[in-house]
């Protein structure tokens, strides 16, 4: 993914604040929580409706008017907002100059409530304040987490300290002194010394002043007058609300936004937008969604790794027990030898050496307090216990192998997944299987679940591909008819694929195309060629008690194909499929 070139700073916030302020007088009709770190407030006025989205994501924190939002399960804070703000009227929008703090004031049935949005990187927060006291916050900050201020219900609200002068209050002499006291790069020095400047905005100010952002600060102290004048130009833009929002593109991908055209980004393709909110949503919505997918992917992969380590430890312990059980086959032989030579074994000896059944000498440890016959009986009892435990040990080994295969299948699926829908369904499946904790957000990112669908080159034949292990089972045993063709990458985790053929015999070309899709949605995706098994769905079976995606199959044939998707007739999104492997089609 392309690199983000700009950031949500105090000037961008000022441009957004102007747009939100136009909604003063609107009534809050709904509070939703699209994601754990987001709150969306739907506002309605006689002139129309709008949604204000507030995010406190550590990297993509922002507030803007949103074109659309999903609805997830509400946190306790979202429920507090619903009780206080739904049916309340937006009465005011206030931003302290060059601060990344926006206060939305609502007129409620209780009098007044301030929703304070703090956009401060990993310290971002959303706080509800009534009569100067914190009613709730999206992120609690107890004293042990911050020595600067607590953010807890019942505590007085204290604004984050402003430790730098703002561009509006800074004079030319103070700026010159700041520059001359450091050798760090000029743009970086501005960020550290002046309130409300992000690195991209600071670089823009330096470029507009005709200076080099990477030049040592101390050597540019003589240019403080030019820098100060440029800073005042930005102050004037904010004071006059003279914003001209613009989007910047890397190819076709939006990679930046600015409240006015940036000279420092003149080499990129740019386009004006109708609002600052639109630009922010296009860029940070895209980057934030991608980041959320990667964060969820990493969390699920960590859970899979931990589960695999546990399974491997269990399997190793059981294997050692099985090997010990194999060795205890000698117990019975030793017992029989003791009985055969009982009359020749002296009492109260710790061990005895006897000729074995093959003639070789055998040394047997004894309990000196027992007779030879009693020692033999003790060995027979021990042998009986081990023999009885052997089937259970072998069953545990098979269970560990099945669980390992299922987890490998899930890992392949997670690694290939590109959509929040895929990861949502995967998390839900893993929660059902006990590998992760279920979340309180039951709503999926979109309302269009189901297998992927591809149309082959003939324009009429369809291939369906499962997205999760559970969906593999549904696709194979509920969606597919008995005469459809079932396909699966051989010997590697991959999706179940169904060629909708009915009773007809598909052509070799059709089988090849369907097999290429099945190979693509497997761990062998990057291979030059891979084997794919196919058979009629009627020959696929689900073992009793098997985990999702685990099947066996018979009467298969094998083709070798390059993993790839069909051309422009493809329907749906080409991303990861559920996992399976080998001879039995699931992860058996």
3-state helix/strand/coil string of 491-547: CCCECCEEECCCCCCCCHHHHHHHHHHHHHCECCCCCCCEEEEEEEHHHEECCCCCC
Region 463-489: what's the mean pLDDT? 94
Residue 567, φ and ψ in degrees, nearest 5: -75, -145
The percent of residues in the chain predicted with pLDDT above 70, rounded, is 93
How far CA 122 is from CA of 58, 61, 119, 283, 409, in Å, comes to: 4, 8, 9, 19, 35
Domains of the chain (ranges; CATH) run 10-137 (2.30.310.10), 172-277 (no CATH), 297-345+371-445 (no CATH), 450-571 (no CATH)
pLDDT class for 518, splitting at 50, 70, 90?
Answer: very high
Please give the mean pLDDT across all residues of the chain: 88
pLDDT class for 72, splitting at 50, 70, 90?
Answer: low
Residue 427's nearest CA partner among 395, 469, 462 is 469
- Using one digit for the tens of pLDDT, what is the confidence trace for 11-52? 999 999 999 999 999 999 999 998 889 999 999 988 889 999
| Dihedral sign computed on CA atoms, order 171, 173, 179, 182 | negative
pLDDT reading at 330 higher than 90: no
Cα dihedral 349/355/356/357 (nearest 10): -130
- 396/322 Cα distance (integer angstroms): 10
- Note the pLDDT of residue 395: 85
Asked whether 498 and 475 are in contact (CB, 8 A), the reply is: yes
- Using one digit for the tens of pLDDT, what is the confidence trace for 406-436? 999 899 889 888 788 888 889 999 999 999 9
- Using one digit for the tens of pLDDT, what is the confidence trace for 125-134? 999 999 999 9
pLDDT reading at 577 higher than 50: no
Hey, which residues does 133 pair with through a beta bridge?
130, 156
How far CA 396 is from CA of 82, 313, 407, 458, in Å, comes to: 50, 12, 16, 48
Q: Which two tokens stand for residue 150?
A: 């607590």
- 563/497 Cα distance (integer angstroms): 13
- 391/39 Cα distance (integer angstroms): 55
Hey, which residues does 533 pair with through a beta bridge?
488, 558
Hey, which residues does 95 pair with through a beta bridge?
102
First to last CA, the chain: 36
- Using one digit for the tens of pLDDT, what is the confidence trace for 356-369? 887 889 898 899 99
How many residues are recorded in the chain? 588
3-state secondary structure of 317: helix
pLDDT reading at 575 higher than 70: no
Higher-confidence position of 383 and 329: 383
- Note the pLDDT of residue 398: 87
The percent of residues in the chain predicted with pLDDT above 90, rounded, is 62
- 35/381 Cα distance (integer angstroms): 61
Q: Which residues contact 568 (CB under 8 A, 6 or more apart)?
A: none
pLDDT class for 582, splitting at 50, 70, 90?
Answer: very low
- Using one digit for the tens of pLDDT, what is the confidence trace for 171-224? 999 999 999 998 999 999 999 999 999 999 999 999 999 999 999 998 888 889
Count of beta carbons in the 10 Å neighbourhood of residue 457 = 12
Provide the 8-state DSSP code for 485. Answer: E
Q: What is the DSSP string of 330-377?
A: HHHHHHHHHHHTGGGSPTT-SEEEEE-TTSSEEEEE--TTS-HHHHHH
Least confident of 161-165, 275-279, 349-353, 495-499: 161-165
How far CA 4 is from CA of 248, 451, 492, in Å, comes to: 10, 33, 37
Higher-confidence position of 569 and 473: 473
Higher-confidence position of 581 and 63: 63
Region 528-538: what's the mean pLDDT? 96
3-state helix, strand and coil shares in percent for the chain, rounded to the nearest 5: 40, 20, 40
Q: CA 334: distance to chain centroid?
A: 59
Q: Which two tokens stand for residue 364?
A: 């047997």
In the chain, DSSP finds a helix count (H) and a strand count (E) of 12, 23
Which residue do the tokens 């296009």 mark? Answer: 282
**Sheet bearing 125-130, strands edge to edge:** 62-66, 48-55, 38-45, 27-32, 89-95, 101-108, 111-118, 125-130, 133-137
Asked whether 187 and 208 are in contact (CB, 8 A), the reply is: no
pLDDT reading at 320 higher than 90: no
pLDDT reading at 578 higher than 50: no
pLDDT reading at 588 higher than 60: no
- Note the pLDDT of residue 446: 60
Burial degree of 418 (CB within 10 A; 0-12, 13-18, 19+): middle
- Note the pLDDT of residue 70: 64
What angle, 0 to 180 degrees and rounded to 10, lies between the N-to-C axes of helices 10-21 and 224-240? 10
- Beta strand 27-32 pairing with 38-45: antiparallel
- Using one digit for the tens of pLDDT, what is the confidence trace for 233-245? 999 999 999 999 9
């Amino acid at each position: 993914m392309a690199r983000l070139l700009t950031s949500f700073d105090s000037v961008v916030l000022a441009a957004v604040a102007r747009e939100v302020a136009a909604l003063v007088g609107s009534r809050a009709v709904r509070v939703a929580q699209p994601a754990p770190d987001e709150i969306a407030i739907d506002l309605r006025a006689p002139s129309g409706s709008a949604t204000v989205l507030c995010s406190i994501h550590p990297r993509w924190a922002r507030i803007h008017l949103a074109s659309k939002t999903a609805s997830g399960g509400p946190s306790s804070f979202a429920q507090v907002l619903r009780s206080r703000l739904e049916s309340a009227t937006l009465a005011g929008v206030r931003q302290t100059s060059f601060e990344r703090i926006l206060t939305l004031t609502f007129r409620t049935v209780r009098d007044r409530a301030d929703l304070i949005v703090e956009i401060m990187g990993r310290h971002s927060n959303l706080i509800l304040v009534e009569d100067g006291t914190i009613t709730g916050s999206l992120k609690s900050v107890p004293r042990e987490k911050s020595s600067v201020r607590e953010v807890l219900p019942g505590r007085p609200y204290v604004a984050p300290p402003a430790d730098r002068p703002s561009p509006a209050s800074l004079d030319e002499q103070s700026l010159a002194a700041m520059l001359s006291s450091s050798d760090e790069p000029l743009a970086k020095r501005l960020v550290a010394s002046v309130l409300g400047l992000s690195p991209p905005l600071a670089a823009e100010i330096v470029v507009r002043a005709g200076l080099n952002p990477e030049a040592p600060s101390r050597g540019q102290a003589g240019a403080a007058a030019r820098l100060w004048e440029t800073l005042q130009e930005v102050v004037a833009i904010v004071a006059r609300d003279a914003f001209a929002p613009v989007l910047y593109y890397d190819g076709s991908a939006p990679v930046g936004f600015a409240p006015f055209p940036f000279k420092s980004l003149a080499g990129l393709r740019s386009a004006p937008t109708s609002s600052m909110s639109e630009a922010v949503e296009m860029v940070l919505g895209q980057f934030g969604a991608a980041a959320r997918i990667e964060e969820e992917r990493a969390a699920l992969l960590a859970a899979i790794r931990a589960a695999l380590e546990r399974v491997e430890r269990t399997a190793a312990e059981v294997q050692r027990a099985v090997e010990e059980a194999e060795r205890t086959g000698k117990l019975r032989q030793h017992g029989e030898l003791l009985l055969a030579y009982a009359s020749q074994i002296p009492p109260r000896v710790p061990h005895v050496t006897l000729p074995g059944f093959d003639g070789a000498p055998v040394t047997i440890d004894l309990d000196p307090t027992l007779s030879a016959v009693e020692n033999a009986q003790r060995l027979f009892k021990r042998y009986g216990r081990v023999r009885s435990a052997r089937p259970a040990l072998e069953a545990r080994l098979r269970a560990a192998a099945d669980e390992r295969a299922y987890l490998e299948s899930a890992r392949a699926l997670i690694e290939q997944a590109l959509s929040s829908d895929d990861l949502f369904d995967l998390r839900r499946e893993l929660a059902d299987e006990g590998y992760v904790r279920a979340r309180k957000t039951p709503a999926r990112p979109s309302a269009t679940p189901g297998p992927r669908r591809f149309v082959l080159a003939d324009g009429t034949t369809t291939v369906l591909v499962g997205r999760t292990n559970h969906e593999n089972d549904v696709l194979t045993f509920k969606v597919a008819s008995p005469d459809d063709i079932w396909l699966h990458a051989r010997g590697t985790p991959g999706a179940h694929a169904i060629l909708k053929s009915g009773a007809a015999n598909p052509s070799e070309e059709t089988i090849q195309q369907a097999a290429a899709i099945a190979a693509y949605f497997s761990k062998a995706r990057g291979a030059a060629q891979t084997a794919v098994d196919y058979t009629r769905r009627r020959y696929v079976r689900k073992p009793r008690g098997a985990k999702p995606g685990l099947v066996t199959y018979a009467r298969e044939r094998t083709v070798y194909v390059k993993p790839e998707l069909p051309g422009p007739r493809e329907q749906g999104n080409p991303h990861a499929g559920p996992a399976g492997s080998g001879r039995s089609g699931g992860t058996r």
